[in-house]
Structure 1
Amino acid sequence: MDAAEDADRPAEFVDALAKGLAVLETFDAAHPDLTLSEIARRVGVSPAAARRSLITLSVLGYVGQTGKRFHLRPKVMSLGSGFYFGARIEEFMLPELRQIVETFGDASSVAMLDGTDVVYIAHHSTQRARRATAVVGARYPAHATSMGRVLLADLQDAALDALLARMEPVPLTSRTIIDKAELRRLILKVRADGYATTVDQLDYGITALAVPIRSADGRVVAALNSSGYTGMVTPDDLVAARLGDLRAAAARLSAAASRIPALSAAFDSR
């Protein structure tokens, strides 16, 4: 966290717990196992602090060790399963995604904004071989996804500018837009249009369309998308064929969320 975020911490904030969670979050598909020094560097803590967190997490069964390298253990999945089942993703969200995929093929997902990233909370697809893996819990930079741009578009101008200021856009493909001024222009266009399209921003071969999912008071709390293979569909194709269905599905998901306390609370906490 930066100095401004530090100042916002309540007196009861438990720094050791925050560091432990940061250690868990540092593992991902590109870093399935890490050394102590790598973990300390990625988390931004001293090796001694990282070691204390790793020992605690190991005793609790969340982290394992092989030689000098640490890795996550299956128990860590229990941390996310409470939300997944409490929010009744399988019951309410997946049927909508399956219907979109049954109608149009390809893939469909729901994501929420977390800092400068989006986090996938539901996903269904026909194929995964040619695209970035969009499993539940996956995180991707918001600037490179259609859903991320939809979520960013709902921020007030001051909040958007603050987020863009701390964002460090990375080029995931040669087509990924990383110029902040251009990103801001595109995000404002999404705000005006009510939807976002992207082509080869997150990975080659992905053309996507996303729409907002709104809370009862009209805030954008999540995003729903439908994607296809670049070269087989264009953004105009997606808008013409899928926008109406996506908006209808998003409206149904908004209504369902109001009836599910865990999901409604998660949406309201943004």
Structure 2
Amino acid sequence: MAEQPDYYVKSAEKTLAVLLAFDAAHPLLTVTQVAEAITVSRAAARRFLLTLVDLGYLETDGNAFRQTPRVLDIGASYLSGLTLPQVARPHLQSLAVELAETTALCVLDDQDILYVERIAAPRMHSMNVSIGNRLPAWATSMGRVLVAELPEMAREEFLRKTKLTHFTAKTVSSIDELRTELDAVRAQGWSLVAQELDEGLRGLAVPVYRGAQLLGALNVSVQPGRIGSTSITDEMLPLMRRVAQDIADDFGGRTAART
């Protein structure tokens, strides 16, 4: 093996190797698995992993680690090149045209949702958001879908850190009420939030899964009075679930169903 130049920082190489050890086939890794993947001791792997947790690039439930959306900060590759937002865009466009509503794809970043792609409907509601904007996850359909799918410990940690704000008269009023809502969302696999963040908006969201990997949440924003809540779920949910699966399939190829 060629000798490394004097400027070469081995720890930088290993740090990037830790991040690159995570992929679609290995979204969750233990200390032992990372140590084997980058050929370091378990003690060294643990130090790298915990440092990346402290920096916000990884998260852990105490046993396994996973990447967070903060890895987007490392480069523009997530938002340029062949990325999830690029793959999702034509599907979101088709869905927006078919439903005549605004569609979006979001990911969870700490207590917020982050818009990574959005297609606006011809009729714009009062809340104007764009790619890269953040909203409080607890108050949105996308956020509730993503938080509901977290492991129990991570979900409780999210609730512990949540600071409720009274946005409208319909905003959820307590952490216990929010916890009950998240339990229902997890059981049914979708979330409908009606005018809790903005009086001029209802949102329906479903998770986007590739196998066991949660990629994000697909959302449709619906103007109040345009369609009833029952019709929203009856008419839109099957279509949204199909589009969510199409996005996942196009992003990483067809995979086995979630277990």
Instruction: Name the TM tier (shorter chain).
Output: 0.5 to 0.7
- 1:144–1:12 distance in 2 versus 1, CA, 3 Å: closer
Q: Against the structure 1 CA distance between its residues 87 and 227, is the aligned structure 2 distance closer, same or farther, given a 3 Å change threshold?
A: same
TM score, norm. by length of structure 2? 0.66
Partner of 1:234 in structure 2?
A: 228
Q: CA RMSD in A?
A: 3.0
Structure 1: distance between partners of 2:85 and 2:78? 11
2:205 to 210, 223, 226: 210
3-state SS of paired residue (1:85)? coil
Measure how far apart 1:253 and its partner are: 1.0
- Kindly tell me: are residues 89 and 162 of structure 1, through their superposed partners in 2, closer, same or farther at Cα, counting changes over 3 Å? closer
CA distance in 2, matches of 1:80, 1:131: 32
1:84 aligns with 2:82: no
The yes-or-no answer on 1:245 pairing with 2:239 is yes
Question: Matched residue pairs, number?
Answer: 194
Within the alignment, does 1:106 sit opposite 2:101 as a pair?
Answer: yes
**Equivalent residues in 2 for 1:1-270, closer than 5 Å:** 81-88=76-83, 91-127=86-122, 129-216=124-211, 218-258=212-252
* Distance in 2 separating the partners of 1:129 and 1:250: 23
1:221 positional shift = 2.8
Q: Kindly tell me: are residues 12 and 226 of structure 1, through their superposed partners in 2, closer, same or farther at Cα, counting changes over 3 Å?
A: closer
- 2:114 is paired with a residue whose SS is strand
Cα gap change, 1:211 to 1:170, in 2 (>3 Å): same
Which SS does the other structure have where 1:173 is aligned? coil
Give distance in 2, aligned partners of 1:87 and 1:199. 34
Checking the alignment, whether the CA contact within 8 Å between 2:208 and 2:218 is kept in structure 1 is yes
1:61-106 CA-partner distances (Å, limit 9, x unpaired): xxxxxxxxxxxxxxxxx98754211343564211111111111111
Structure 1: stretches of 5+ with no match in the other structure: 1-7, 19-77, 260-270
Task: Report if the CA contact (8 A) 1:151-1:222 is conserved.
Answer: yes
Which runs of 5 or more residues in structure 2 are unaligned?
A: 1-45, 56-72, 254-259
Report the Cα distance in structure 2 between the residues aligned to 1:194 and 1:188, rounded to whole angstroms.
10
CA distance in 1, matches of 2:142, 2:223: 17
Q: 1:230, 1:144 → 2: CA distance?
A: 17
Higher helix proportion, which one?
Answer: 1
TM-score, with structure 1 as normaliser: 0.64
Query: Cα deviations across residues 161-185 of structure 1 (Å, max 9, x unaligned)?
Result: 1110011122222221141100010
